[in-house]
Structure 1
């Protein structure tokens, strides 16, 4: 099993799928909040490990160039974020979005990936925004599935809240923090609360960057709207309004098999642009 050892002592688990030479590289940033890990894709309405077309790692350099949505082959890179599942790390004072960012870039460096596309769900888009802000030249296109954010209630079915959903982040981070203490992975609740405050109270909107940051990003983005208190629809709409090269898909995950299938095909077509071509980033 591949682990990357970090200077701080963390060990980050990662996997790859597809052909390293011929596949279009895509870094997958999994859902699950602070439990973001490869296995969380199995519970997602869209699972890129299953859906994106990859050549077998041992299949040689041949590639199918058919002009349909399954014509491209991808080289997928997935990881368990630090503290999640098979990755291990000691929580330190001052950890935050930048800590995860350095892990993610280190995985790409380890694999000698100079440029790749991004696909993230839930917390994944927030990781992606930080990556595109800090290393814009390393990333091409970005798919965002139901991004998290701080905003007002709009059209979420069966859910309502007054004002901003400001307590939502601690509701799911708090469960994770309790688990960290219970399993003795961190015995200082103050450190866990500080991590939450650093990651989710410094910026509103998508937490990891500001609206001004997003407005400066020219990367092509495909945003699939969320619909609950943790992944508010208005966050997706606002990303699409602010980012200069973003497209919003409102109906996809709960609209039946046909809509979901169209969403899968749209994602694959969107990511099929070769990184050496002019793709607007």
Structure 2
């Protein structure tokens, strides 16, 4: 499944979604696709193991295997769409995949935005909120999904949306047998998302790091680390913002992405 807006409108931008239960290309990036589809060819796939994409049976239990399948999936998608080069925008798990893509196929990509990206130093000491996310299926319910989503934002009372309704809308997808099987399998073994600093220092692409100051899933300190080691990176921190920058501050986020991809930042 690939959500797409603005085919042929401008440079291609691949949006890579996060790794929470119920995540998909459309659910993570709907507002960005709607805002940027008049200027860019916006493409947001569901990863292998998420949403309407392929669900291997039996599923691998090593994140390295899932990562390899997803990297091949993105490159294969670009080949199928006859897109030679694209920008990347990655959220959380999608940020980690973005870094892997920049390292493995640098010639296929131009600029990259990493939002609340995973794979930083905190991977060795995950937050309780992140642990609850990856073990969601130990006790799944719409209420538990709503509580989890409340940790993705700075202040649920200030969030311009209904987190309980979002949880209700996504819960049926999370409880599909294939979706549940893939999710449990990918987080049952080694994570192995982190790239060594020696690899990060070789990535020459212009990179915009975007992070919520109050992110409880992947702390903002991870982006400060990436800022130190990525040669051509800059960082923008949103105050009073959690893990869902693209949903908490959609207008500002989409404007920032547009400015950066145009080379105005």
2:83 to 113, 116, 125: 113
Q: How many residues get paired?
A: 223
Question: TM-score, structure 2 length as denominator?
Answer: 0.70
Distance 1:248 1:238, change over 3 A: same
Deviation of 1:219 after TM superposition, in Å, equals: 0.6
Cα offset for 1:98? 0.9
Secondary structure of the residue aligned to 1:217 is coil
Residue matched to 1:185 = 178
Runs of 5+ consecutive residues of structure 1 not aligned to the other structure: 1-12, 55-72, 153-162, 274-281
1:43-74 CA-to-partner distances (Å, cap 9, x unmatched) read 8xxx31122142xxxxxxxxxxxxxxxxxx20
Match of 1:100 in 2: 70
Return the alpha-carbon distance in structure 2 between the equivalents of residues 265 and 187 of structure 1: 35
**Shift in alpha-carbon separation, 1:241–1:39, aligned structure 2, 3 A:** same
Find the aligned partners of 2:227 and 2:121 in 1 and give their Cα distance.
14
Distance of aligned partners of 1:15 and 1:251 in 2 relative to their CA distance in 1, 3 Å threshold = closer
User: Could you say what the CA RMSD is over the residues aligned between the two structures, in angstroms?
Assistant: 3.6
Distance across 2 between alignment mates of 1:195 and 1:76: 29
**Structure 2: 5+ residue runs without aligned partners?**
141-172, 243-248
Larger Rg: 1
| Equivalent residue number for residue 19 of structure 1 | 7
CA distance in 2, matches of 1:41, 1:77: 12
Displacement of 1:92 in angstroms is 3.3
Question: What TM-score do you get using the length of structure 1 for normalisation?
Answer: 0.67
More helix per residue: 2
CA spacing shift, 1:116–1:34, aligned 2, 3 Å: farther
Distance apart, 1:25 and its partner CA = 0.3
Contact preservation (8 Å) 1:23, 1:74:
yes
Higher alpha-carbon deviation: 208-217 or 240-249: 208-217
